[in-house]
């Protein structure tokens, strides 16, 4: 192992020890065994306290500050594993042996190449779109390029003729309903000859589709980042691991061992997190037996919001707005007085220190040592953490969450703020797909109720008498 990355392992194991000590007096977990359905619970607004399903994939304990994937503690996984191993673990239930890992990595590498999808994507005004919107669009194109879900027979024969003239958009002036406005690229010769190209997937529900998405979201995210910088996407590098290849495609530079390891750990940390909003959104879509591409699209939509994945970008704006460690105290006092939310703090589940923030904060400190541009923001962040924890920690159990240090980490790795949430998706897609696969083994469509508090027996007034 490289000396710098060995240092990271030691640091994480030390952090783990400290975390366990700090919360050792907290009560042992409850509700971790199979239950007899239906189950009686107290449910708060936002489905707080509700149980959506049983799962063996991941566990979060907010009072003890635990995050567990398939029985393994997050600190141990970060110290000893790669994102590929952890993804295999989430999908399959056990860590891979050397042969299984090699074959899994080979599959992910094959799925990195999305030639036609990217060619189509650059035809859209991606540079004007929010990265998450572009990502969702790209996933629909992956679905179209690689699966037979929308059967070939359903395509009108006219489409081939339309495809022969790339500049034309066929339209009927008086629609008869049998021809759709269509624009299609011709399949390139290189694609046909490309032996490494993955085979067409017969359906969009299984493990292959999940692996396709786990790899594809990374390629799409990097391509969107490049297009936003007014450059063409960078071809994936077969010789790099998932994290290194992501950084390479995003920045055009091969990362140092330290950068690669920190990106890898960040991907592990964001891979799964219980029944969070985006995971639930993707499972709700899957429960209708819609395919996993649509499920992941729903996850991306939910992750985009500032109360979920969008918070890390907001954190950076907050730090820039504060501008100086000396201004932190007055800024915090004012924000609390205005009843404002401080981005990167607080969590629905964690009422102790978020273990992911503990790890990322420490790793960000290693990275900023070399980065004069980001160091001032890190100094403000450290001060902000101290101030918020001293004012709201004991009183409201508000501590930094994963988003607080992820933006600083990504900035040091050369990633633009507008791409932070998409990077979160690169990682979380492994949790979304694992949870969807697991849920489908014993599927029941999600259908909660709303408490109707509206009126009854209203009479319809004719339109011209309504005010």
Query: Hey, which residues are catalytic here?
Result: 347, 403
Q: Minimum distance between the CB of residue 263 and ligand COA, rounded to whole angstroms?
A: 19
Binding part of the chain for ligand COA, among 146-154, 337-345, 420-428, 452-460 by CB under 6 A, reads 337-345
Judged by CB under 6 A, which stretch of 87-95, 166-174, 250-258, 398-406 contacts ligand COA?
398-406
The verdict on 342 binding ligand COA (CB under 6 A) reads yes
Interface segment toward ligand COA; rule CB under 6 A; list 6-14, 335-343, 376-384, 418-426: 335-343
Q: Is 214 in the site for ligand COA (CB under 6 A)?
A: no
Does position 346 bind ligand COA by CB under 6 A? yes
Q: Does 284 bind ligand COA (CB under 6 A)?
A: no
- 358 forms part of the interface with ligand COA (CB under 6 A): no
Q: How many residues make contact with ligand COA (CB under 6 A)? A: 15
Question: Closest separation between CB of residue 396 and ligand COA, Å?
Answer: 5
- Among residues 173, 153, 155, the alpha carbon closest in space to that of 163 is found at 155
Q: Which is nearer to ligand COA, 96 or 346 (CB)?
A: 346
Triad 302, 127, 190: Cα angle to 5°: 100
When asked if residue 262 is in the footprint of ligand COA (CB under 6 A), the reply is no
402 near ligand COA (CB under 6 A) = yes
In the list 401, 406, 430, 434, the residue contacting ligand COA (rule: CB under 6 A) is 401
Residue whose CB is less far from ligand COA, 141 or 268: 268
Q: Which stretch binds ligand COA (CB under 6 A): 280-288, 322-330, 394-402, 422-430?
A: 394-402
* Binding footprint of ligand COA on the chain (CB under 6 A): 307, 311, 341-348, 396, 398, 401-403
């Amino acid at each position: 192992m490289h000396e710098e990355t060995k240092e990271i392992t030691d640091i994480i194991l030390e952090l783990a020890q400290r975390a366990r000590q700090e919360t050792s007096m907290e009560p042992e977990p409850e509700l971790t065994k199979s239950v007899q359905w239906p189950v009686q619970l107290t449910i708060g607004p936002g489905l707080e306290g509700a149980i959506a399903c049983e799962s063996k994939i991941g566990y979060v304990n907010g009072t003890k500050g635990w995050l567990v994937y398939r029985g393994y503690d997050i600190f141990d996984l970060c110290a000893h594993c790669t994102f590929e191993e952890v993804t295999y673990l989430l999908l399959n239930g056990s860590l891979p042996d050397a042969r299984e890992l090699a074959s899994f990595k080979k599959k992910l590498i094959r799925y990195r190449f999305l030639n036609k999808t990217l060619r189509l994507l650059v035809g859209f005004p991606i540079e004007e779109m929010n990265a998450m919107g572009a990502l969702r669009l790209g996933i629909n194109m992956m679905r179209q390029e690689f699966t037979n879900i929308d059967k070939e027979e359903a395509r009108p024969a006219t489409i081939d003729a339309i495809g022969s003239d790339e500049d034309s958009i066929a339209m009927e002036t008086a629609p008869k309903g049998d021809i759709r406005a269509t624009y299609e690229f011709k399949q390139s010769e290189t694609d046909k000859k490309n032996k490494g190209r993955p085979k067409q997937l017969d359906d969009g529900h299984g493990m292959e589709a999940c692996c396709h998405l786990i790899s594809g979201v990374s390629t799409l995210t990097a391509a969107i980042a490049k297009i936003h910088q007014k450059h063409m996407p960078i071809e994936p590098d077969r010789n790099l691991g998932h994290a290194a290849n992501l950084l390479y495609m995003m920045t055009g530079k091969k990362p140092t061992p330290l950068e690669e390891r920190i990106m890898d750990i960040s991907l592990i940390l964001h891979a799964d997190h219980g029944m969070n909003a985006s995971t639930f959104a993707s499972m709700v879509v899957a429960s209708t037996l819609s395919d996993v591409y649509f499920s992941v699209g729903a996850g991306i939509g939910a992750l985009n919001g500032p109360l979920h994945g969008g918070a890390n970008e907001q954190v950076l704006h907050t730090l820039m707005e504060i501008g100086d460690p000396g201004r932190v105290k007055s800024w915090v006092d004012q924000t609390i007085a205005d009843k404002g939310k401080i981005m990167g703090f607080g969590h629905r589940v964690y009422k102790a220190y978020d273990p992911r923030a503990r790890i990322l904060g420490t790793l960000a400190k290693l990275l900023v040592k070399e980065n004069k541009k980001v160091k001032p923001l890190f100094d403000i962040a450290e001060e902000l953490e101290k101030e918020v924890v001293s004012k709201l920690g004991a009183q409201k159990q508000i501590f930094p969450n994963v988003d607080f240090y992820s933006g600083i980490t990504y900035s040091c790795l050369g990633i633009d703020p507008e791409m932070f949430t998409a990077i979160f998706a690169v990682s979380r897609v492994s949790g979304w797909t694992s949870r969807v696969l697991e849920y489908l083994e014993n599927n029941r469509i999600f259908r909660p109720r709303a408490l109707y508090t509206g009126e009854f027996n209203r009479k319809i007034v004719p339109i011209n008498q309504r005010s």
